[in-house]
Amino acid sequence: MGRERFRTGVEAASSRYVELADWGALIAHLAADPELGSDRHGAGDRRPRVALAPSLAHAQPDLVAGFTDAGFEVAVPDGDDPAAEVADVPLAVVRAELAVAETGSVLVSEHALGDRVVTMLCRRLVQVVDADTIVDRLEGAADWLREHGGQPGFASLMTGPSRTADIERSLTIGVQGPDEVDVVVLTTPSGGADEA
């Protein structure tokens, strides 16, 4: 029930919803995506470029090797100017703390600037969440924030690509942040974190 309701919310927010077993399946799924090799994302004949949130790359170092082995050029912003390292990157991957079925949102907790720029400066954002962390209502996100009181440097509920109709009352998507958002639900308990 929770996953189906979450899927409905994600799709209503103009995002793609995908269920995969683990991180290895995610890498294979993205490697097989024909859009990532197209000029639409600026890759041309080059390897597609993916940015990983530094906290994700640190927590799961096998992901960098997994994406590299699958033919991706991997960027993990860790220098003095993380925004310049990932600005306009075609694809970015972040891990969400939990998902809210009621709204189709994910809660992303980002301690460092490098994590925040990865979520905001890419063209296509892949938000990965474990199936067992889907909560039914927004109160579940509030409970998580209360339990982790003050630890996140920045936490945000994200629901699809941004949209505005402020400019001549014409709907525009992706004005602030990514143009496209994929929400990937990992169905293996604890997300199969060691599966890269």
What is the structure's pLDDT at 164?
A: 55
Note the pLDDT of residue 37: 63
Mean pLDDT by 10 residues, the chain (196 residues): 91 94 96 72 67 93 95 92 90 95 91 86 94 94 82 77 61 65 89 44
Alpha-carbon distance of 97 to 134, in angstroms, equals 9
pLDDT at residue number 193: 44
What pLDDT score was predicted for residue 157? 87
List, in order, residues 6 or more apart from 146 with CB less than 8 Å away.
none
Domain boundaries, the chain: 2-38+47-163+172-189
Bridge partners (DSSP) of residue 66 are none
- Residue 69 has a CB neighbour count (10 Å cut-off) of 12
- pLDDT value, residue 168: 63
Q: CA geometry: angle at 25 spanning 123 and 131, to 5°?
A: 85
Report the Cα 139 to chain-centroid distance in Å: 22
Class of domain 2-38+47-163+172-189: alpha beta
